[in-house]
């Protein structure tokens, strides 16, 4: 153990500070509502949602007065709508909530997972316009208007969900019913958001040291962690700040800058949107991960970070039929056969080294064949109990691991929260071995 870390601190349960996370003084998507900013007029009247496979669904418009378009996906979570709306991994998508009542407890300061609302449209059965909570600063409708995002409600979300489950995710548009002809023309020329560099859109541009000089309960200096922001959720940063001194970095920062300019002890790669094989900033983050692994630095990845590690390890990635989005996904740890119920949000997966591409999209979209960039072998540590897809990797002989699911939750269960402490223990062991 190094830098004043005590055995007592390292043995703390994963939930020790889980419900009192490290505060972050950064912009929140709900700030404008709390400040009473003037909002544009809400959309209203009959609306229609059209899908590229010929689907047509009628509803009522709300949110911003603009049309929605993107990849139609659904999330099965029964709570945490604010967290989902502000999750950068939904960038470029039209988000359907399967739970029928959205907005019953309003919008709250400090509950967002980023600085803005990221879906390009929102589909719900019913949006509550009179939330019942003493700490609410606004409604879902007002949050969408604040960020210029359209919504459609009173729509058959069950039918949409069944169609997506059966046929796979599809492109869609929605807007006023009297503009249906225009909407159909827009749909004909609509391109997949995965062609765009979505990681560039959702990430920061300059490094930020979040908790400089952070110490533990005994005054010992916490190890310094570099966080590659591919669309990081705030609660990931909060959880990491509990156990590390965190440097929040752009995804294209060089490995030499991380080691020479910021003297990091370990590296983390976050969640994020889009195709992990996109040649933009996701690939830049992948190359940095590969260098860190080859250099023997402790590395952890979540969601997109896991997929990028898979690519760096010579495994392909592929588009899933409809992905895993919700707070109820069971994951098996193959090492001890335990099962954790996890929060997830991803439409791509890492191909299994032996079983290949499970639950693949009908289009068969996959990454090009890749080579191992860091020279170490990987093994599958976690799999999804429902469909067998890869949910986590261990890098053999290296202090590195990744998970597809979200141990920080928000929303979701806290079954996997101990993984942040597993990573801290790995970092401590690595630093101790260097001393």
Active site residues: 303, 406, 408
What span, in angstroms and rounded, lies between the C-alpha atoms of 332 and 340? Answer: 7
User: SS3 for 262-305, per residue?
Assistant: CCCCEEEECCCCCCCCCCCHHHHHHHHHHHHHHCCCCEEEECHH
Sign of CA dihedral 9, 10, 16, 22: positive
What span, in angstroms and rounded, lies between the C-alpha atoms of 176 and 67? Answer: 8
Residue 231 tokens read as 């669309």
DSSP state letters, 421-432: HHHHHHHHHHHH
Question: Do residues 323 and 376 touch, judged by C-beta distance below 8 A?
Answer: no
What span, in angstroms and rounded, lies between the C-alpha atoms of 313 and 307? Answer: 10
Residue 115 tokens read as 């600085």
Question: Do residues 123 and 96 touch, judged by C-beta distance below 8 A?
Answer: yes
Question: Do residues 282 and 251 touch, judged by C-beta distance below 8 A?
Answer: yes
């Amino acid at each position: 153990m190094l830098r004043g870390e005590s055995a007592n601190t390292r043995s703390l349960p994963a939930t020790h500070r889980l419900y009192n996370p490290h505060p972050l003084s950064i912009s929140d998507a709900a700030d404008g509502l709390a400040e009473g900013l003037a909002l544009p007029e809400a959309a209203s009247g009959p609306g229609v949602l059209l899908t590229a496979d010929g689907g047509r669904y009628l509803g009522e418009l709300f949110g911003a007065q603009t049309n929605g378009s993107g990849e139609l996906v659904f999330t099965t979570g029964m709570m945490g709508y604010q967290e989902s709306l502000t999750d950068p991994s939904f960038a470029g998508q039209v988000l359907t909530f399967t739970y029928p009542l959205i907005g019953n407890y309003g919008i709250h300061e400090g509950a967002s997972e980023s600085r803005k609302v990221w879906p390009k449209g929102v589909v719900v059965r019913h949006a509550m316009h009179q939330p019942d909570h003493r700490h609410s600063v606004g409604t879902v409708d007002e949050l969408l208007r604040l960020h210029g995002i359209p919504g459609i409600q009173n729509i058959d979300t069950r039918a949409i969900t069944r169609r997506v489950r059966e046929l796979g995710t599809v492109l869609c548009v929605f807007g006023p019913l009297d503009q249906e002809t225009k909407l159909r023309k827009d749909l004909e020329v609509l391109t997949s958001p995965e062609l765009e560099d979505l990681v560039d859109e959702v990430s920061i541009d300059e490094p930020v040291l979040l908790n400089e000089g952070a110490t533990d309960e005994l005054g010992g200096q916490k190890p310094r962690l570099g966080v590659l922001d591919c669309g990081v959720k705030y609660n990931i940063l909060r959880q990491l700040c509990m156990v590390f001194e965190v440097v929040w970095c752009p995804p294209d920062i060089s490995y030499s800058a991380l080691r020479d300019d910021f003297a990091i002890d370990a590296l983390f790669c976050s969640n994020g949107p889009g195709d992990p094989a996109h040649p933009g900033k996701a690939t830049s983050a992948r190359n940095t991960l590969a260098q860190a692994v080859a250099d023997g630095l402790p590395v952890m990845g979540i969601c997109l970070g896991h997929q990028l590690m898979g690519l760096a390890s010579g495994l392909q990635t592929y588009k899933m039929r409809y992905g895993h989005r919700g707070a109820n996904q069971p994951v098996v740890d193959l090492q001890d056969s335990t099962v954790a119920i996890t929060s997830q949000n991803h439409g791509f997966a890492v191909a299994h080294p032996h079983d290949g591409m499970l639950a693949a999209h009908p289009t068969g979209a996959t990454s090009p064949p890749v080579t191992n960039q860091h020279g170490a072998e990987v093994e599958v540590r976690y799999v999804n109990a429902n469909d067998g897809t890869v949910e986590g990797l261990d890098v053999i002989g290296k202090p590195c691991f990744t998970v597809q699911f979200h141990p920080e939750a928000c929303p979701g269960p806290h079954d996997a929260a101990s993984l942040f402490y597993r990573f801290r223990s790995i970092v401590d062991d690595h630093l101790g071995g260097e001393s």
